[in-house]
Structure 1
Amino acid sequence: MKKFLILVLFGLYLAPVQAQTKSYTLSLEQAIVLAQDSSYASVNARREMTRALKKKWESAATGLPQINGSVSYNNNIKQSVTLIPGEITGGAPGSFTPVVFGTEQNATAQATLEQLIFDGSYLVGLQAAKTFSDFSKNAYDKTQIEVEKSVVNAYGSALMAQALVSVFDNNYKTLNKSYEELAIVYANGLTELESLEQLEITLLEVKGYLDNAQRSQSLAFNLLRATLGLPLEAELNLTDDLSTLVLRASEEFDPEINVDLQKQIDVRIAENFTEQRRLEWLLERSRALPTFSAFLNYSTQAFNNDFTFTDNNQQWFQSSVLGVRMQVPIFSSGLRSARSSQAKIAWDQAKTEFTQTKQATQIAFENALSDFNLSKDNYSNAQRSVNLAERVAEKNQIKFDQGIASSFDLYQAQAQFYRAQQNYYTSLLALLNAKTVLETFINPPTF
């Protein structure tokens, strides 16, 4: 019975731990969708958009009716004394009589309604709030684009690491088999020790490649989990393979294709920034305009020497005031002019930066197109190189088995093949990333 209870308690302890480990089976497209929903950058970008909407309402609310209320209670522990001429109380001429005015305690309750009628800065603020909201939306779009790039790179890196582990594991098993066979040949005195040692060196190198690939695979999958916004202990199964992704990435683009600068996210953000600077200039200019506001105040007061303010028979005295205020800036010793000039300079700087951003975006597009074409060429060359290196390695293996080639010749052919394999997968990932970057220029995503 005691053992049964221990097993039950252990099962209850283990159940929530197991429940926390969730498995995800994802294609690249599914990984992108997941990351754009749950990655840390996307979550904070959505929060920033929500904050911008609240900021927009904050700006609008300052021009709407504002009602404030207050309640106060005063207890004059030691009341102030005032001197009045003594003749009033029947005293001698020229004398003064100390008197106390008012009661020891009083209470006041009041409410005030205020309404802005005209304020130039309020009107500018409404426009600025909308611009800030647009800026936050564009910043969110940029975040999602960067998240997509990060996911493609992390997903591709995980697949590449996975593939390299498989390749090096297969290489190690094949080479280890050759080493064991050669060891038997050496034991029978049919080969030199140098040949066996040379093969052992190659075997150790491949073992090092395999160990490094396994560590890289673990790191690559953790990086992918972090990019997706998942816990590091989550189980990941990737359904896409590198060959499929590369097939998509190898699609041709129209060599005469042009980019629409107005749709590019960096240009849109720079345009938002320029508009913000223009509105800041208008804001400084609007500070020279008068402001008008109205207010309505209602209050009630009670007085007594004792605390009787909660009694039903306590007498309360009401008062109410309706008024209009106008505030006119008259002279600021050049302060407003200096601020307006600074804002104008900042606006001019923003316009220059906007022009610069458009040029930089055009250059970035041309560079992305060049990188894509170069990556395609590199991938094609790497693919041919790995096929050639594999055939050379196979031929040298046959020659070595037949005693025609030396162990050094076999080592060189195999080392060349291993380098070609690594270059192949590196070029594959570079092509995938280059295609993603180019796609963001040609077909700017909207979210």
Structure 2
Amino acid sequence: MKSYLIILLFSISYLSSFSQEKNSFSLTEAQKFALENNYQKVNAENDLLIAKKKVWETTGIGLPQVTAEAKFQNFIELPTTLVPASTFDPTAPSDQYAELKFGTDYNTTASITASQLLFDGSYLVGLKASRVYKEYAEKNVAKTELQVKEDVGQAYFLVLVAEENKKILSEVAQTTTKLLDETIRIYEEGLIEEQSVDQLKLTLNDINNSLAEADRQIAISKNLLKFQIGFDINNEIVLTDKIDALLAFTDSENSLTSNFDFNNHVEFQSIKVNERLMKLNFNKEKFSFAPSVAAFFNYQKQNMSNQFDAFSGGKWYPQTLWGISVSLPIIAGGSRLAKTGQAKVEYLKAQTNSKQVEQSLILQAQKSRSEYISALSIYYNQKDGLALAEKINNQAIKKYNEGIISSLNLSQTQNQYLESEGKYIKSLLDLFNAKSNLNKALGTN
């Protein structure tokens, strides 16, 4: 019994630990989780599946087509045919007709037909286009993955910054609370005026308001992150990465910043695939002037009788044939020429778009690198400024306790510190956004 309890407790502890690990995410883990659960990624994967099915659909058009058909007819009244009566009676007037009925009351037909496309230029181009479209869907999946990772990264960092903001505000609130308690004690001893107490209460009230807002920002940021990765919003989530680790570039990223090749960027690869699609569409329209050739084979049996005996010994009459059909478009009112002209212009537009994207990617890489360097410099300056403002604030608290400065002077110093803290938090966000934009420009998110 004792051993059973030990095993049970161990299992509960293990499951609890496992559940907790599932709620804890580094940025890489969050991005990986999102790639499996994000709504946009799921839709992109489904689009790829559709493209793969489209390849098979198009391929099937050129494979042998076999159809079977069965038909049963029961003539309640046989149709009447009029023929000149002179056919049977030379003396009959020329305007006289004989009424004849041909056929049997029951007709049953069973047939099987096979056909094979021998040549169709549009089909050959369409088959190639379906495969290129699958490649386009694959590039779209890759683009979606990059976008998802970028969105998750921004949401993840937003939570970290919100938590960092709360951490700094909490430290300031704790220090101000202690200072207020000490000031109240001194006031009660009659050594200072009530204004000093009120001034600190006002400052602490502002800090507490900022803390409450920070809590709301953390909750909102976490819910945004949960949404981005496809995590249940009602469950708690814990972030394990630290800000400094996310702000640093890896060696591979640093080499990319100086050796950018737009040919490796998924955006350029995608636009080039689209250009190939437009070229194939142009070729398809040109092939609309070419003939299409197909072979066919048909075998059928037919039962004809005035009694329904198709399945009770009635006689069946066979028929077998094969042939080749050629279809050659001749005149279509100029519509084919118009479609071909449109397809050519679309192809030229696709070439222009490829060139535009190429130049845009090069420019964006240069611009994003410059903005990152600028944001990094501002971040270091604001970080140093925050440390300096904290030092000044601590000195002001010491002077206030010694009675050298007034509560008003202390309040001004604390406001300066909080202002520096706000600038530091903004520089954090700006730096990460600049890093994220640079990664996106390089295609390395």
TM range (shorter): 0.7 to 0.9
What is the distance in 1 between the residues matched to 2:125 and 2:76?
51
Question: Deviations along 1:371-425, whole A, 9 cap, x unmatched?
Answer: 2101210110111011011111111111222222222222222122222223223
| Structure 2, unaligned runs of 5 or more | 1-17
Residue matched to 1:131: 132
Paired letter, 2:148: V
Q: Given the alignment of the two structures, is residue 194 of structure 1 paired with residue 201 of structure 2, yes or no?
A: no
Structural mapping, 1:283-298, within 5 Å: 283-298=284-299
Letter in 2 for 1:324: I
Residue 7 (structure 1) aligns with: none
Give unpaired runs (5+ residues) of structure 1: 1-18
Does the 8 A contact of 2:282 with 2:344 survive in 1? Answer: yes
The amino acid of 2:49's aligned partner reads T
Instruction: Tell me the distance in 2 between the aligned counterparts of 1:234 and 1:250.
Output: 36
Q: Report Cα offsets for 1:329-351 as digits up to 9, x if no partner.
A: 22233222222111111111111
Q: Distance in 1 between matches of 2:249 and 2:264?
A: 24
Deviating more after overlay: 173-182 vs 316-325: 173-182
- What amino acid maps onto 1:147 in structure 2? V
Other-structure match for 1:221? 222
Deviation at 1:320, TM superposition (A): 2.1
Q: Distance in 1 between matches of 2:165 and 2:51?
A: 46
Shift of 1:223: 0.8
* Alignment partners' CA distance in 2, 1:252 and 1:83: 90
- Are 2:146 and 2:443, in contact at CA under 8 Å, matched by a contact in 1? no
1:167–1:412 CA distance, 2 compared to 1 (3 A)? same
Asked if structure 1 preserves the Cα contact closer than 8 Å seen for 2:303 and 2:314, the reply is yes
Post-superposition offset of 1:135? 1.2
Residue of structure 1 in register with 2:241 after alignment: 240
How far apart are the structure 2 equivalents of 1:397 and 1:60? 80
Hey, what does 2:68 align to over in structure 1?
Answer: 69
Alpha-carbon distance in structure 1 between the residues aligned to 2:45 and 2:182: 62
1:25-424 → structure 2 map (5 Å cutoff):
25-84=24-83, 93-94=92-93, 96-248=97-249, 253=254, 257-309=258-310, 311-424=311-424
- How far apart are 1:367 and its partner, in Å? 1.1
Question: Larger deviation: 436-445 or 320-329?
Answer: 436-445
Do 1:152 and 1:433's aligned partners in 2 also have CA atoms closer than 8 Å?
no
Which residue is 2:10 aligned to? none
- State the 1:275 CA deviation: 1.2
* Alignment partners' CA distance in 1, 2:263 and 2:427: 32
Q: Is the 8 A contact 1:153 1:433 kept in 2?
A: yes
- Structure 1 residues 106-149: Cα deviation after superposition (integer angstroms, max 9, x where no partner): 33222221111111111111221222122111111111111111
Shift of 1:198: 1.7
Superposition deviation, residue 290 in structure 1: 0.8
Q: Which moved more, 1:144-153 or 1:157-166?
A: 157-166
Cα deviation for residue 169 of structure 1 reads 2.6
1-structure distance, mates of 2:388, 2:54: 63
Counterpart code for 1:327: S
Tell me how far apart the structure 1 counterparts of residues 419 and 98 of structure 2 sit (CA, whole Å).
110
Which has the higher mean CA deviation after the structures are superposed, 412-421 or 205-214? Answer: 412-421
In 2, distance between residues paired with 1:301 and 1:192?
117
Moved more, 165-174 or 112-121: 165-174
* Inter-partner Cα distance in structure 2 for 1:118 and 1:424: 69
Letter in 1 for 2:358: K
What is the CA-CA distance between 1:85 and the residue it aligns to? Answer: 5.5
Q: Percent identity?
A: 29
- After superposition, the Cα gap between the structure-2 partners of 1:300 and 1:379, relative to the gap in structure 1 and judged at 3 Å, is same
What's the CA shift string for 1:181-230, capped at 9, x where partnerless?
32333333322222222212211111111111111111111111111111
Pair 306,215 (structure 1): closer, same or farther in 2 beyond 3 Å: farther
Q: Which amino acid aligns with 1:426?
A: K
Give yes or no for contact 2:150–2:440 (8 Å, CA) kept in 1: no
> What displacement does 1:265 show?
1.5
- CA contact under 8 A between 1:67 and 1:111: conserved in structure 2? yes
Q: Which moved more, 1:203-212 or 1:248-257?
A: 248-257
Tell me the distance in 2 between the aligned counterparts of 1:322 and 1:281. Answer: 35
Moved more, 382-391 or 93-102: 93-102
Residues 96 and 349 of structure 1: CA distance in aligned 2, closer, same or farther (over 3 Å): closer
2:117 counterpart SS class: strand
Query: Do the aligned partners of 2:70 and 2:111 also contact (CA within 8 Å) in 1?
Result: yes
Partner of 1:3: none
Query: Would you say the 8 A contact 1:297–1:322 is kept in 2?
Result: yes
CA contact (8 A) 1:182 1:196 kept: yes
Residues 1:347 and 1:85: Cα distance change in structure 2 (over 3 Å): closer
Q: Structure 1 residues 238 and 83, CA, compared in 2 at 3 Å: closer, same or farther?
A: same
Does the CA contact (< 8 Å) of 1:168 and 1:209 recur in 2? yes
Q: Is the 8 A contact 1:277 1:346 kept in 2?
A: yes
* Distance in structure 1 (CA, Å) of the matches to 2:253 and 2:267: 25
Distance change (3 Å), C-alpha of 1:381 and 1:90: same
Question: Displacement, 1:37?
Answer: 2.2
The root-mean-square deviation of aligned C-alpha atoms, in Å, is: 2.7
Tell whether the 8 Å contact from 2:257 to 2:442 is kept in structure 1 after alignment.
Answer: no
Moved more, 283-292 or 294-303: 294-303
User: What is the one-letter code of the residue matched to 1:219?
Assistant: I
**Residues 290 and 91 (structure 1 numbering): CA distance in 2 closer, same or farther, change over 3 Å?**
closer
